[in-house]
Structure 1
């Protein structure tokens, strides 16, 4: 019975805090509850909990972390870097305007000698403050 309470506690804590590790502990507690159901003593239950939890942390957690840190999951200004934009007002080293992701942004060229005329497409190299650095 205590292992099922632990499953619920780990599950609730995991949902409230978004710690994926808590879900792994919940699975370990469920495995320990299953061991208890099959008549395993408390030592066996604890060993099952530890082995299942550690196995999930060692083998599954790296996959989850890699998936969450993939380039497809970039947000905010990181998601805008490397995208394409259209020049609205002439862009040079001193400034200009571009349309980026449906919004008008101030911009300047990465290369001091580069000049981009209205209508041309540029790539966003970086975002500095509220200014897109383009090339």
Structure 2
């Protein structure tokens, strides 16, 4: 028992190491936060703090890590580029009108190297050949587009 009280820092480090190894199997970022708490207990023990203080420091450190650090780490790990599949990747892209379209007549556009059937998103608009349009929606095999105003050159 004397050895434990004299080498409490080693016990805390052992606990931290075991929790760190267990984290490698779980990958939940919970056990590593507890390991950091055990590290706080080890530092307190190395500085000569009583056992009660070691336990308090370990618990407060672990809880703080779980509450403050883990959420941001989990969010950062789960972030990444959004995977856009199918026709959704064409929304917002620009295309060139290859066949005139009105609200009543379906035309055609050149979009991402392919020819698509297209209609104006606003049925009261006519879009002429050669105009640049933006894809607002795709329903079935028809792209619904809106013209992009040409910028006047000075």
On the 8 A contact 1:4/1:33 being kept in 2, the answer is no
Match of 2:95 among 61, 85, 92: 85
Q: Given the alignment of the two structures, is residue 54 of structure 1 paired with residue 70 of structure 2, yes or no?
A: no
Choose 29-38 or 88-97, whichever is displaced more: 29-38
Confirm or deny: 8 A CA contact 2:107 2:119 kept in the other structure: yes
The alpha carbon displacement at 1:106 in A equals: 2.0
Whose strand proportion is higher, 1 or 2? Answer: 1
Q: Which of 2, 21, 24 in structure 2 is aligned with 1:8?
A: 24
Q: Report the alpha carbon displacement of residue 109 of structure 1 after superposing the two structures with TM.
A: 0.7
* d(CA) in 2 for partners of 1:104, 1:33: 63
CA contact (8 A) 1:3 1:32 kept: no
How far the C-alpha of 1:114 sits from its partner, in A, is 1.8
The verdict on how the C-alpha distance between 1:34 and 1:104 changes in structure 2, with shifts beyond 3 A counting, is: farther
Note if 1:107 corresponds to 2:112: no
> Aligned partners of 1:116 and 1:26: how far apart in 2?
61
Contact 2:102/2:120 (<8 A) preserved: yes
Q: Which of 128, 131, 145 is equivalent to 1:117? A: 128
Q: Distance in 1 between matches of 2:31 and 2:110?
A: 47
Gap regions ≥5 residues in structure 2:
1-16, 46-50, 147-154
* Residue 20 (structure 2) pairs with residue 32 (structure 1): no
Q: Determine if contact 1:7/1:29 at 8 Å carries over to the other structure.
A: no
Superposed CA RMSD in Å reads: 3.5
User: Mind listing any 5+ residue stretches in structure 1 that lack a counterpart?
Assistant: 12-21
Return the TM-score normalized by structure 1.
0.61
> Size of the alignment, in residue pairs?
119
Distance 1:78 1:26 in 2: 40
Cα offset, 1:133, TM superposition: 0.8
Cα deviation, 1:10-50, whole Å, max 9, x if unaligned, reads 43xxxxxxxxxx45x36524523533553485665444233
Structure possessing the higher radius of gyration over alpha carbons: 2
TM-score by length of 2: 0.56
